Chain A
Amino acid sequence: MTGIAGHGPVGGHGFTVPVLQLGDVLLVTLQGELHDGMAEQLQQDITARISHSRVTGVVIDISGVEIVDSFLGRVLAEIAAGAKLLAARTVLAGMRPAVAITLVELGLTLPGLWTALDVERAMELLGVTTRRGEGSP
């Protein structure tokens, strides 16, 4: 499409997308500026990881993402759709309030994506307990 930055996880400012496997769940942490080519690459990488590792859930942590536009929204929705075909559920965790308000106005409703306020709650939604029980009597 644009001729550059379309291959591999490249892009300025040393951007990388950490993907961590925690048992049956893939935890993907998005942060900062995600170039379009990188977002599409990420989609392919995650889908490949799901099919290889046979995880049953994917948590995408977007608490470090300042804006979600229709391009990134489409990528997220397609990651979820691909995961569903591979029998995994996707939860979007930690969306910033300003991003949520903007998405509503943009008209992007992200159907098919579960949401959670943070990664811990996303894990709980997927049946993974991460709580250490601190503070409970």
Chain B
Amino acid sequence: MMQASRHAGPASLPIGSDADLAWVRQQVRQAAAELGFGLVQQTKLVTAASELARNTLVHGGGGHVQITPLDAGSSRGLRLAFVDTGPGIRDLDQALTDGYTSGGGLGLGLSGAKRLVQEFEVDSRPGEGTTVTVTAWATVVPPSRTVP
């Protein structure tokens, strides 16, 4: 398995336990820092990753995350794809509603993660699984007006 940090290439990390969630947070933090994300951007992305990885574990029954550094010329970004083969999300609008939980949580993970990143996509099929893909871009300093 490649290390995102060393090779700046894609990496895949398992999500099967509490300890894996902690490891995912650390690896996302490191990758974001190396791509030039500021502290607030890092914190937002790591928090989103923590929410989505926990959903993969708790609701999806485990899976993995694919971490892909992106280089779009002047801006660099990080794409995270959280993949599980769990029950899927039947009603996505409901799942994305602040405060909705099918049990136990605060219901802020999915909707909150969406607010914390620039791009957010859910691909879910009932009975087959869920993939949530998010992308965040490092803001160039000094701030540029061009939006990638």
Contacts and interface: CB of A to CB of B under 8 A. Distances in A.
Co-assembled chains A and B: yes
Interface of A: 1-6, 11-12, 33, 35-38, 66-71, 73-74, 96-99, 101-102, 105-108
A70 B19 contact: no
B79 interface: no
Given A67-B43, A73-B106, A105 B116 contact: yes
A4 B113 CA distance: 26
B115 A107 contact: yes
A69 to B, nearest CB: 4
Contacts of B26: 33
A105 B112 contact: yes
Q: Chain B: interface residue count, which band?
A: 20 to 34
B57 A67 contact: no
Given A33-B26, A96-B43, 17 more contacts: A2-B17, A2-B57, A33-B22, A35-B18, A35-B21, A36-B21, A38-B18, A67-B25, A70-B108, A71-B50, A73-B106, A74-B105, A97-B40, A99-B43, A101-B44, A106-B47, A107-B115
Interface of B: 16-19, 21-22, 25-26, 29, 39-40, 42-44, 46-47, 50-51, 54, 57-58, 98, 105-106, 108-109, 111-113, 115-116
Nearest to A98: B43
Point out which of A69, A101, A108 has the most chain B C-beta atoms below 10 A from its C-beta: A69
A70 B22 contact: no
A5 B17 contact: yes
A14 to B, nearest CB: 13
A67 B115 contact: no
Contacts of B51: 69-70, 106
A108 B18 CA distance: 21
